A and B are shown apart, each in its own frame.
Chain A
């Protein structure tokens, strides 16, 4: 028997000998389901590719994204400048490559701010219940009463434009959905016997929430995060496009479209190339999220 076959048998064993074996086995089976969906695999590939591009941007860029050269302004795509040049003669391909860092950076920052906070608040509201639950739910109601981009716009108007403020504004509009989701999951778990057993053993409320309830809400939060990433990308690009997110010299995709818009009728590539970049990134995360949902959260499909 070859080693891979042995590993496979170990993973799919009916009677796992350890907790680790059971856990790895489940991940392996989920991976098998995931792999059957080629769109989801494509989404995973795009997401990984974006991460690599963001990390290795200096190696992949052919030009300095900030260097201007007015002699070659607004050149169409050719061998030297794969995606053409913009109105200041900067290489659009290199700018898009560096822009990946900004976009993914914003996405990651929003997720780090929002997902743990929403998860804990939602679990606490669902588990503790009572007036605490009511107040938290009213607050989420208020935040969800505004369309996302519009509330983000109002926050940015108050805080001033910029990447950090854009992240804060998007985070402020994004957390209620996570709190709602975790609360709903918690309500379903709260009455389970194993929670009652842990409580009888003397576990504190905090321990029950962090140790028993929150980990079970995690998979739906992960699915939600992946599906939300494309929304975050689109909102961030929208803010940049309106001149309220990242501001022009920085190679943010939305801001690039905003300047390229002036040349759209003659030099289509200036605005279209970053537009394609946003679309590919957002589509990749959508496909990945759809695939993950099928695997991790079968009851929703």
Chain B
């Protein structure tokens, strides 16, 4: 039994580096096929021929492709993602500055999504076929169909412009800029730790709408999966047995059925968390949220390839890491996979 578990970890140890290498290969190849000449991007198109040639040699562009790929890998692995043309800072420094804002947004959204999605899914399963089940199913279906940027725009229109319940786009009011020194980079944590409650309140106000919009999408997914998992359990005979024994419905549903779906549910939640990284690209554009998604799109529009590929690589790695974490949790907690 123990050996089988070790073997599955062993499998991961082989496939994970291979997949990471593949990620590097994809970003490397994307960087190679771009129509923009990387030399011209640095020296400009009026540079004399000898300068052009010197930079070309410095970048190693005269070398064979496999050697360039090897150089690229060793540079990335030593933390050198190149320099952003737009901000003229190292890309990794940029990313570490922008990523916490995305992480903060995605975390709050996931918390909201789980808090609302899990009970909703359970309720829909318990009342299968009823009016409330149909309403819940329809709401989750909308979550799979509405474009996230449309929901964001409508949210701004209704809650900011018409009802004035929330502040406008951005992460914080300009008046509060630079009051809190960034430690974790997550404004809510930093301001709370430094006792700046006014800043904290303002930050909460700003995060509410973008996180709410993202949360709706994770809610839709989580509720749908919770419902499906619960229906599968509630059909089982041990549930009938528990009911026949006179156990309260509350206990049957939450302790017995729900207890058995907890493990797959963790996987679903982790996947939806990873999915929010994607949603963040569009949400951050709508809400002018200074996160990785906005960094990615702004770099894209400025043809800043180092930044684009760096951000893509980071997102891919995080995504992969979350998937791996899910898989490990699954194997550790669910005795059937041992």
Contact = CB atoms under 8 A, between A and B. Distances in A.
Interface of A: 138-139, 141-143, 145-151, 153-160, 230, 234, 237-238, 241-244, 254, 257, 261, 264-265, 268, 271-272, 275, 278-279, 282-283, 286-287, 290
Given A158-B33, A243-B301, A275-B147, A264 B153 contact: yes
B145 A154 contact: no
A43 to B, nearest CB: 10
A143 B29 CA distance: 13
A147 B316 CA distance: 7
Interface string B1-29: 00000000000000100110011011100
Nearest to A227: B144
A151 B312 contact: yes
Interface residues of B, number: 49
A-B complex: 6 closest residue pairs judged by Cβ atoms: A142-B22, A147-B278, A275-B150, A283-B145, A282-B145, A158-B30
Contacts of A151: 26, 312, 316
Nearest to A301: B228
A210 to B, nearest CB: 29
B129 interface: no
6 contacts: A145-B320, A147-B315, A153-B297, A264-B161, A268-B157, A282-B145
Interface of B: 15, 18-19, 22-23, 25-27, 30-31, 33-35, 141-142, 144-150, 153-154, 156-157, 161, 274-275, 277-278, 281-282, 285-286, 296-297, 300-301, 303, 305, 308-309, 312, 315-316, 319-320, 323
B144 A286 contact: yes
Nearest to A258: B149
B173 to A, nearest CB: 19
Contact of B282 (A142, A242, A278, A282): A242
Nearest to A290: B141
Contact of A145 (B147, B154, B277, B316): B316
Contact of B153 (A150, A155, A271): A271
Contacts of B34: 157-158
Nearest to A231: B144
A283 B139 CA distance: 11
Contacts of A158: 30-31, 33-34, 305
**Which residue among A138, A146, A157, A268 has the maximum number of chain B CB atoms within 10 Å of its CB?**
A157
Given A149-B278, A275-B150, A138 B145 contact: no
A115 to B, nearest CB: 20
A262 to B, nearest CB: 11
Nearest to B281: A149
A268 B154 CA distance: 9
A182 B320 CA distance: 23
